[in-house]
Amino acid sequence: QVHLVESGGGSVQAGGSLRLSCAAAGVTSLDLLLNVKCMGWFRQAPGQEREGVAVICTGGGVPYVADSVKGRFTISRDSVKNTASLQMDSLKSEDTAMYYCATGTDLSTVVGGTGVRGQGIQVTVAS
């Protein structure tokens, strides 16, 4: 069974950078075609709706990056190691949220959190 381990995150001043990493364990060859085809993050701040941040899928294609973070966040993936990273630069206070690594068969599965998801990691940006 696939499970996700997140690392990185923490607190930073506005304008600073953080890097989130996510490692998928227990991945089978079938999972690579289905459950771990796409990897990414969504975030949720207290009292706010869940927001898809970035998603990257195997097989090519342009990664999805939310307009709110475009130009500041970069997602990358190592398909051999089954890991994904989210480099977050020029952080703003509005980026403060719990960030969840998630995997799934497509973009909607990842951002909707309906596939496999990690426990979440806090990112706090002080203004």
Q: How far apart are CA 8 and CA 59, in angstroms?
A: 27
Integer Cα distance of 85 and 40 in angstroms? 8
* Predicted confidence pLDDT, tens digits, the chain (127 residues): 899 999 999 999 999 999 999 999 988 888 887 889 999 999 999 999 999 999 999 987 889 999 999 999 999 999 899 999 999 999 999 999 999 999 999 999 999 888 999 999 999 999 9
3-class secondary structure, 95: helix
Q: Contact 64/40 with Cβ under 8 angstroms?
A: yes
Q: Which of 59, 66, 57 is nearest to 99 (CA)?
A: 66
